[in-house]
Chains A and B, each alone.
Chain A
Amino acid sequence: MSEALLEVSHLVVYHGQLCAVDDVSLRVEEGEIFAVIGANGAGKSTLLRSIAGLHVPKSGAVRFKGRDLAGLAPHRRVALGMSLVPEGRRLFSSMTLEENLQVGARGGRKGVFTLERIYELFDWMPARRRQTAWQFSGGEQQAIALGRALLTNPDLLMVDELSLGLAPIVIDRIYALVPEIVAHGVSVLIIEQDVARGVSVAGHVHCLLEGRTSLAGRPDELTSEQIEAAYFGASAVPMREALP
């Protein structure tokens, strides 16, 4: 079997005394769209942040392109080709759109994604490049954050809560870009609270429940009952039966 782009093995991460990620393992292959789903507090963000290097795991390993990332600072992981768009977009609020993008470009690797390429991908950006970050809408900020991460020319792009707080039309537009990003040779790992959305776009789905893996597999091999049960927990009453 060929080496996976990203391999997480038995990862355990604590938040203070709380176990946020409990023995999670997953593989992301090259060219794949991988979705992590789960309810609030299931540990999805902590998982991605640990992969990106912001949290030190208690045990377990993260291997990227075959290399163990233990002890590697976040900016070094970016240099290896891994980029995370954090939850809440987290733009540099005092800086302009272009400056936000430029920081990404400076911090990462050279590659197919240049400032010009991003301006082509998001054609509304050039006209507003000198506006300060806080003046943009949620959807626009998400696009800027995405652009900033792409400018580091990652092999693996991780997005935490791609659609959180955005209008459906905006989400559609952003998701329309995902195949194009993959076409550029970037693998994508997204956290998505909207289960249907995540399942529809991903080639592989991983569900977390209270820090543990409750389900993993290809969407076409999983039934909606299975996904529901994994999302809410096996003891939960199925939605269809609960509603009159």
Chain B
Amino acid sequence: MTWLNIVIEGALIGGFYALFACGLSLMFGVMKVINLAHGDFAVVAAYIAVFLVPHLHVPEVLSFLVVVPIFGVVGYVIQRTLIQRSIDKDPFTTLLVTFGLSVVIENLLLLSYSANGQVVNIGSVAYNSWHPGSIFYLSYVSLVVLGSSVAVLGALQLFLSKTGLGRQIRAVADDQEAAQLSGTNYRHIFGVAAAIAFATVALAGIAYGMMTQFSPTSGGINLLFAFEAVVIGGIGSLWGTLVGGILLGIAQQLGAHFNPQYQVLGGNILFLVVLALRPQGLFGKKSALA
């Protein structure tokens, strides 16, 4: 039964990793940008949920209703100003700029809120769980987060495949120039992709805060996991990211099973193995590689 527990725990956290990672994957697919500050924006969303949203008399558990749309707009603006500017220079500059942003954000959070762990207050639900057959221990929060992740990913996939705007996003991702020649304003599309990325990462950040403690440096470690999930599942595939996230979660649980210190290591090892044996990931296209 321990094995089943490991798999289930892994799957639960895996859904979250996928939600966290889909923005990263989208931004890379569409504008070939790796946003190294991706994780930190998630943490900012969590901090806003805990410290600023209550001023609006909105309960923390519903904070995402406020924060997610705001982050979408913020994402659009940041993309069309800061990030577009660095894209226009070269991919190098974008990496450096987003890394710089990451460090600045983390340290600003540290200065503002200290290194203490925070939690998004959702009341007693946080401690409740489901005990099917008295064997498994599935926390409500994790289940809801997993369900939401799958729902969001599904909605995103539908949006990309069925709507005109979604088609334009995919077109720009395939061939930016040809999309321009077909009348698509690629900078606007970049903005939309960033808006989606920021919105999903805000949701992921708040979800994280509901599941566990977070601190200014939480963004970094989650970026690592998001990235590992994307690579394991395959660069360029949304559902691949979900599978990658789940496999990562399971690998981490396996590591923790041997020694609590090995939790992260378990995931790192799976990542390195995939990199060695099948670098394009499980569902990825070979074109994304070197």
Binding site for B on A (CB under 8 A): 52-54, 73-75, 78-79, 83-86, 90-95, 99, 102-104, 106-108, 148-149, 152
Report yes or no: A148 in contact with B182, Cβ–Cβ below 8 A: yes
Report yes or no: A95 in contact with B181, Cβ–Cβ below 8 A: no
Given contacts A102-B167, A106-B164, contact A152 B174 (CB under 8 A): no
Q: Is B178 an interface residue (CB 8 A)?
A: yes
Q: Which 8 A-B pairs have the closest CB atoms?
A: A107-B183, A78-B183, A90-B178, A92-B174, A74-B180, A107-B182, A103-B171, A106-B164
Report yes or no: A84 in contact with B181, Cβ–Cβ below 8 A: yes
Given contacts A92-B170, A99-B167, A103-B168, contact A75 B183 (CB under 8 A): yes
Write out the residue numbers on chain B whose beta carbons fall within 8 Å of the beta carbon of A92.
170-171, 174-175, 178-179
With both beta carbons as reference points, the residue of chain B lying nearest to A100 in the complex is identified as B171
User: What are the interface flags for B151-189 relative to A under an 8 Å C-beta threshold, 1 for contact and 0 otherwise?
Assistant: 000000000000010011011011101111111111000
* Interface size range of chain B in the complex: 10 to 19
Tell me which of A78, A95, A152 contacts B171 (CB under 8 A): A95
Binding site for A on B (CB under 8 A): 164, 167-168, 170-171, 173-175, 177-186
With both beta carbons as reference points, the residue of chain B lying nearest to A76 in the complex is identified as B185
With both beta carbons as reference points, the residue of chain B lying nearest to A53 in the complex is identified as B180
Report yes or no: A86 in contact with B184, Cβ–Cβ below 8 A: no
Distance to closest chain B CB from A16 (angstroms)? 15
Given contacts A92-B170, A95-B170, A99-B167, contact A106 B175 (CB under 8 A): no
Report yes or no: B180 in contact with A149, Cβ–Cβ below 8 A: no
Distance to closest chain A CB from B6 (angstroms)? 35
User: Cα distance A154–B186 when bound, in Å?
Assistant: 20
Given contacts A95-B170, A103-B167, contact A90 B177 (CB under 8 A): yes
Distance to closest chain B CB from A90 (angstroms)? 4
Report yes or no: A95 in contact with B174, Cβ–Cβ below 8 A: yes
Write out the residue numbers on chain B whose beta carbons fall within 8 Å of the beta carbon of A104.
182-183
| Beyond A75-B183, A92-B175, 20 extra complex contacts between A and B, CB < 8 Å | A54-B180, A73-B180, A78-B183, A83-B181, A83-B183, A90-B177, A90-B181, A91-B178, A92-B171, A93-B174, A95-B171, A103-B168, A103-B171, A103-B179, A103-B184, A104-B183, A106-B164, A106-B183, A106-B184, A108-B182
Q: List 28 A-B contacts (CB under 8 A).
A: A54-B177, A73-B180, A73-B185, A74-B181, A75-B180, A75-B183, A75-B184, A75-B185, A86-B181, A90-B178, A92-B170, A92-B178, A92-B179, A93-B175, A94-B170, A94-B174, A103-B167, A103-B182, A103-B184, A106-B168, A106-B183, A106-B184, A107-B168, A107-B182, A108-B182, A149-B181, A149-B182, A152-B183
